[in-house]
Structure 1
Amino acid sequence: MKSPDLSTTMQRGLNAIKALSGHEADGMRPGELAKSLDITQPQATAVIKNLIHAGFAERCPWDQSKVRLGPTMITLANSAQLAISQRAIQIEQDRKNFGATL
């Protein structure tokens, strides 16, 4: 049962991001994405257009019929990794400074 608070369009976009993950080297065609998401090819094409517009996906330079995760996704992933690493360093420093009570 679908929750009334969820947007079908948003869920398609988020699921498309997950489906594209791992296909950065080869990319995916709209038909492949549609099949993996169990949606129509026109729906997949619309999702792809929105993801490209937001920078979450891009056309593969070697094959414009394929898409892969875009620079915005890379920036977000790098930012999250940096924040996690910095927090781990801070926690370790706090342990050294204040003992093992943390």
Structure 2
Amino acid sequence: MALARDRSPSEILASPDLYDGRALVIAGTIGNLKELLSKRGNPYYVFELEDGRRAIRVVSFGNTLCKAGAYATVEGRFRKVKRQGQETVYNEVEAYRVTCR
């Protein structure tokens, strides 16, 4: 699958309807990194990808090799609104690849 050029969190959040449901590449600095376990015991992690102006939530499954403060490129699918049971999450990227630089 060919993906477009790297986007910034500010660019995505300025036009969330344009990117909703689309695969994209987004780049920025990792902040607020949390490594967690699902109810089934599977590892995943959540972080904010920041560009100095705005931040977007990213979730990825597995373990991360990245550290908070690292510059990263994220390949994934953006969702403007995601409902999980009783929880509603806004402006999230479900990553299928996170690359630290």
TM-score normalised by the chain length of structure 1? 0.22
Bigger share in helix: 1
Greater relative contact order, per chain length (Cα 8 Å cut-off, separation 6+) = 2
TM-score normalised by the chain length of structure 2? 0.23
Bigger share in strand: 2
**Greater Cα radius of gyration, structure 1 or 2:** 1
